Amino acid sequence: MSTTGRRGPAGAASGALDVVRPGTLTTVQDLGRPGYAHLGVPRSGALDADAHRLANLLAGNGPDRATLETTLDGTAVRVRTDVTAAVTGAPCPVRIDGRPAAWGAPVRVPAGAVLDVGGAVGGLRSYVAFGGGIAVRPVLGSRATDLLSGLGPAPLEAGQQLPLGVPGRPPGAVDAVPLPAPPAELVLPLLLGPRADRFTDAALRGLPEAGYRVSAASNRIGLRTEGPPLGRADSAELPSEGMVLGAVQVPPDGLPVLFLADHPVTGGYPVLGVVPVDRLGAAAQAVPGTPVVFLPVHGRTDPADGPAGPHPR
């Protein structure tokens, strides 16, 4: 059993969680490690950043504290000390020692109790915050699990122990919590370029009606699509070039891939365009089979990271 918690004089761990049920894929996430793409390090971090921030707010944390990001079937942990917790993101049943507890609100979990976050009833990913945050050791300033590079802690395993940080302010009263419905249709604005000229005019004109759907092969690296291949005007190979968060790359099969938090920072396939970062939270919650509509737009978008150097924010 991994013992990464703090230890007191008697050797007993304190301020920690014991993983009872890890779930299909539960990872530690914060706001990621932007600014290292020039070193080959992806941004990583919570895929649904708004849900992550809200969970922290409800638990009395700042937005940078680490949470647990669950995928589809939740997780269960036993707490070693009294702690405030909150669950947001994909709606799901929440239980404390088998008794129903609130989703989207601060709940007090007594020492020794099991907090069980059930399977998502809409969307894919839930976020579980604890007062003080998950206090695993940071790597390059972040506690986020990066599945592509292997940085940060590994996905949760049964019997693992996770340390908690020192709680900050008490959680404030909450009147209402926003509950965005998982998208019935994922509509993604697409700023065309830099390689849109590699595709036929007919392919670009037909994007909004192309009939793409979210593929079950999607993951934290990218949202893959199913549908008609995009027609190429130029099939010549490209040298490897920098990729940003939200880039839509088109591999040889012609099916667009939307790069998410754990995306590679370089690639050799043409980038059709870039989806604004503030629209990626919906992509994090889109279940396989969800229709995807790419809407070409004109203007500028903030890619949030890039290969040239540290991001100014």
Tell me the domain boundaries of the chain.
6-163, 186-297
| DSSP code, position 153 | P
Q: What is the pLDDT of residues 225-252, one digit of tens each?
A: 999 999 999 988 899 999 999 999 999 9
Q: Measured at the alpha carbon of residue 157, what is the angle toward residues 148 and 84, in degrees to the nearest 5? A: 100
Q: What does the pLDDT average to over 113-128?
A: 97
Q: What is the pLDDT of residues 74-106, one digit of tens each?
A: 999 999 999 999 999 999 999 999 999 999 999
The domain 186-297: what is its CATH number? Answer: 2.40.100.10
Q: What is the pTM of this model?
A: 0.90
Q: Measured at the alpha carbon of residue 25, what is the angle toward residues 23 and 30, in degrees to the nearest 5? A: 115
Q: Hey, what amino acid is at 193?
A: G
Query: Is the omega angle on the peptide bond into residue 180 within 30 degrees of 0, that is, cis?
Result: no
Complete edge-to-edge strand list for the sheet that includes strand 27-29: 27-29, 67-71, 125-130, 83-89, 107-109
Spatial distance between the Cα atoms of 99 and 91, rounded to a whole number of angstroms = 17
Spatial distance between the Cα atoms of 94 and 312, rounded to a whole number of angstroms = 39
Q: β-strand 186-192 against 291-297: which pairing, if any? A: parallel
Q: What is the pLDDT of residues 6-53, one digit of tens each?
A: 333 333 334 899 999 999 999 999 999 999 998 999 999 999 999 999
Which are the contacts of 206, defined by CB distance < 8 A and separation ≥ 6? Answer: none
Q: What does the pLDDT average to over 217-227?
A: 97
Spatial distance between the Cα atoms of 129 and 54, rounded to a whole number of angstroms = 9
Which are the contacts of 31, defined by CB distance < 8 A and separation ≥ 6? Answer: 45, 46, 49, 52, 63, 64, 142, 144
Q: Please name the helix (run of DSSP H) or strand (run of DSSP E) that holds residue 19, with its range, or none.
A: strand 16-21
pLDDT of residue 277 exceeding 70: yes
Q: Hey, what amino acid is at 263?
A: H
Encode burial over 181-211: b for 16+ CB neighbours within 10 A, e otherwise.
ebbeebebbbbbeebbebbeeebbeebeebe
pLDDT reported for residue 177: 72
| DSSP code, position 39 | G
pLDDT of residue 112 exceeding 80: yes
pLDDT of residue 62 exceeding 70: yes
